[in-house]
Chains A and B, each alone.
Chain A
Amino acid sequence: MSYVLRTLTKKQEVDSVIRDTIDKVLVLRFGRASDTVCLLLDDFLAKSVREVSKFASVKLVDIDSEDIQVYVKYFDITLIPSTIFFFNAHHMKMDSGTADHTKWVGAFQQKQDFIDVVEAVFRGAMKGKLIVNCPLPPERIPKYQLLYKDV
């Protein structure tokens, strides 16, 4: 359980957070507090939330909550932790060379990686782009398999 970051458990809370974060990147981490990778990611998030606070805000969403299942389906969350970026209630995609551009799956290797990613999202959003390129080299991006139709 991260004591620094707020964990949201209701859809209404998530909605209000998305709607109320204006002109800042909103980082929503979907995951579970007991999962090790989630904990690693949460640690990085907690440490860097202050540093990115001028252009981003970070919230954690607990996927075990009933309310949130709608979002789990809507955002197609199948692996945790999944991090989704919003800017002004618009979803920001990031092309990091993986199969899923809509979210960031997994943790980061360094705190600075997270900050770089958020910065890239912010810069792209301020320019009007809905999809940005990932600034990290491929070796630092967590790899995963997305299965489609049981393939």
Chain B
Amino acid sequence: METGKSRSVTNPNRKINATKQSNGSELKKRKRSQFEFCEVCKLNHDQGQRHKYFPSHTKSLSTFLSRFQNKLSDIRFFLTNPSLLRPEHASLNRFWCVFCERDIDELGSSFACTNTINHLASIDHLKNLKYFLWKYGGGMNSVHNFTISEQDISKWQKKCKSLKSEAVSSTTASRGPLVGPSNDIHNELNYGNVNSFANNNIDYVNLRNSNGVMPLQYHTNEYQVSHSELSEVANVGLFPEDVSSSLPIETNYGTNSKNLNSFIAKRNCQHSQRLADGYLNNYGISQVYQNERMVKGESSSQGSQSLTPIFPMVPDGAGGNVHSGAPPPWFEAIDDSQQDVQLKPVLGSLVSSSIKQGKSKKLNPKRVGAAWAEKRKMEMEMEKRGELVKTGVNANWLPNFGRVWQSGSRKDSRKEFELENQKVSKVENQPVDAVPLKIQPYISKRMQRDASG
């Protein structure tokens, strides 16, 4: 048995113990082994090696593996389309490898999912994977599904290198023709935007409509198809705060080979950023419609391939955008579902909808404070809608609190406290120093009251 891992499981002496036990009681047919924990079913069982053949286990295993496959498919996308990873987003990316049972951070990696890709190609991971499959019975021929082959990784590394060299060798020459469409506020941003839009408008439109979660299925524009493999540093270029980052966009333009797939990047971390980008997209799209020809002309003069004019598939673009002051599409989505959705108002944070899939939407009616919660939710809805003017909460409101030295119900404690307060304030205004020192002798209020009363 491998000893290199810190699993809480099992030892090979199980069978020996089991047989000893069964010798003792001949009537016992079933061999009982020591309890082990099955990672897949998340339960403790004493079925030993037989467990992995049980139907319940095979079911759980297939869901388990398919879930992990989904995450891996994202990673594989980045394997074929490496893109630069900005340091501020690096900290948001973590990948949990179920076979090795460890998190893989992306700190200090220059390309998206570098560490993850390297991990998936490593020998240790392969070992762990094989052990896992042996233990939980996934089928040894599925090893290739969960690792990255050497060929793939070498291809990826080459792509990364070429990407880096392009980014480094980018010149400002390509900025020239872009001066044209610059009636905008976000100057550098739009250089990048316009380029990419000219190249690949439709993806934005698609993205706006979809949640932008899955890698985009490109429309069959042969130009796009042939170049869909090449990377997009455009992702980087769309962040307005960094001028230098828009340079790679220029190189895209110059080399005319990149599609803009930025929004499919990093679904797990850059959602909010992407939404912001989506917002900017609206802005950029309208620019493109006006300036398309100009850009097209320039691009062909650059020797790039011919660009196809793209018109928006969805009339939505005309319905409202940033210029007209329309709300962004994700707000509309939230409004609709607000009724069904449980509000979680935390001070200073966005109201986010939390739809628990697979669990019942109704919270346990017997939970603590359920009545209060329902009442309060109604109040907040009304406040939001502006019907109920927020009356200042009574300054003397106190929460329901069971006191430390208490001899009655909680309501009593509150009343007691208020009474004590009145008495204390009547007699003397003793400022109670909360804790000048860390430890202070505890003076019960009763004692104070008795002393004073």
- Report which A residues bind B (CB closer than 8 A): 6, 11-13, 15-24, 32, 35, 37, 54, 57, 59, 63-64, 69-70, 72-80, 86-93, 100-102, 124-130, 144-150
Known: A23-B344, A80-B438, A127-B367. A16 touches B404 (CB 8 A): no
Question: For residue B410, which residues in chain A have a CB less than 8 angstroms away from its CB?
Answer: 91
Q: Can you pick out 14 interface pairs between chain A and chain B where the beta carbons lie within 8 Å of each other?
A: A23-B373, A24-B346, A70-B398, A76-B403, A76-B404, A77-B435, A78-B440, A79-B435, A80-B435, A88-B370, A91-B402, A100-B404, A126-B368, A130-B402
Q: Is the CB of A149 within 8 A of B447?
A: yes
A102 vs B404: C-alpha distance when bound (angstroms):
6
Nearest-Cβ distance from residue A43 to partner chain B, whole angstroms: 17
Nearest-Cβ distance from residue A135 to partner chain B, whole angstroms: 18
Question: For residue A76, which residues in chain B have a CB less than 8 angstroms away from its CB?
Answer: 403-405, 445
Q: Is the CB of B400 within 8 A of A89?
A: yes
Q: Is the CB of A149 within 8 A of B444?
A: yes
Question: For residue A17, which residues in chain B have a CB less than 8 angstroms away from its CB?
Answer: 347
Question: For residue A22, which residues in chain B have a CB less than 8 angstroms away from its CB?
Answer: 342-345, 373, 376-377, 380
- Check B417 for interface membership: any CB of A closer than 8 A: yes
- Report which B residues bind A (CB closer than 8 A): 342-348, 354, 363-364, 366-370, 372-373, 376-377, 380, 392-393, 395, 397-405, 410, 417, 421, 431-432, 434-435, 438-447
Q: Is the CB of A146 within 8 A of B404?
A: yes
Besides A88-B373, A126-B364, 19 other CB < 8 A contacts?
A12-B393, A12-B395, A22-B373, A23-B342, A24-B344, A64-B434, A75-B401, A76-B405, A78-B442, A79-B435, A79-B438, A79-B439, A80-B434, A101-B404, A102-B403, A125-B369, A126-B368, A128-B366, A128-B367
Question: For residue B348, which residues in chain A have a CB less than 8 angstroms away from its CB?
Answer: 6
Question: For residue B403, which residues in chain A have a CB less than 8 angstroms away from its CB?
Answer: 74, 76, 102
For B400, the closest partner residue in chain A by CB is: A90
Nearest 9 CB-CB pairings of A with B: A88-B369, A147-B442, A128-B366, A90-B369, A125-B368, A88-B373, A91-B401, A76-B404, A63-B434
Instruction: Give the secondary structure class of B's interface.
Output: loop
Question: For residue B377, which residues in chain A have a CB less than 8 angstroms away from its CB?
Answer: 22
A146 vs B431: C-alpha distance when bound (angstroms):
21
Contact for B399 among A35, A72, A86, A124, CB less than 8 A: A86
A57 vs B344: C-alpha distance when bound (angstroms):
10
Nearest-Cβ distance from residue A127 to partner chain B, whole angstroms: 7
Residue from B344, B346, B399 whose CB has the most chain A CB atoms within 10 Å: B399
Nearest-Cβ distance from residue B312 to partner chain A, whole angstroms: 37
Question: For residue A127, which residues in chain B have a CB less than 8 angstroms away from its CB?
Answer: 364, 366-367
Nearest-Cβ distance from residue A64 to partner chain B, whole angstroms: 7
Question: For residue B368, which residues in chain A have a CB less than 8 angstroms away from its CB?
Answer: 87-88, 90, 92, 124-126, 128-130
Nearest-Cβ distance from residue A84 to partner chain B, whole angstroms: 8
Nearest-Cβ distance from residue B125 to partner chain A, whole angstroms: 25
Question: For residue A75, which residues in chain B have a CB less than 8 angstroms away from its CB?
Answer: 401
Contact for B434 among A15, A18, A69, A101, CB less than 8 A: A69
Contact for B444 among A54, A57, A63, A148, CB less than 8 A: A148
Q: Is the CB of B395 within 8 A of A90?
A: no
Known: A16-B347, A76-B404. A89 touches B442 (CB 8 A): no
For B401, the closest partner residue in chain A by CB is: A91
Nearest-Cβ distance from residue B68 to partner chain A, whole angstroms: 21
Question: For residue A144, which residues in chain B have a CB less than 8 angstroms away from its CB?
Answer: 439
Q: Is the CB of B417 within 8 A of A19?
A: no
Nearest-Cβ distance from residue A27 to partner chain B, whole angstroms: 12
A11 vs B432: C-alpha distance when bound (angstroms):
16
For B446, the closest partner residue in chain A by CB is: A149
Known: A90-B369, A130-B368. A150 touches B399 (CB 8 A): no
For A25, the closest partner residue in chain B by CB is: B368
Nearest-Cβ distance from residue A68 to partner chain B, whole angstroms: 8
Q: Is the CB of B347 within 8 A of A74?
A: no
Q: Is the CB of B366 within 8 A of A74?
A: no
Nearest-Cβ distance from residue B237 to partner chain A, whole angstroms: 29
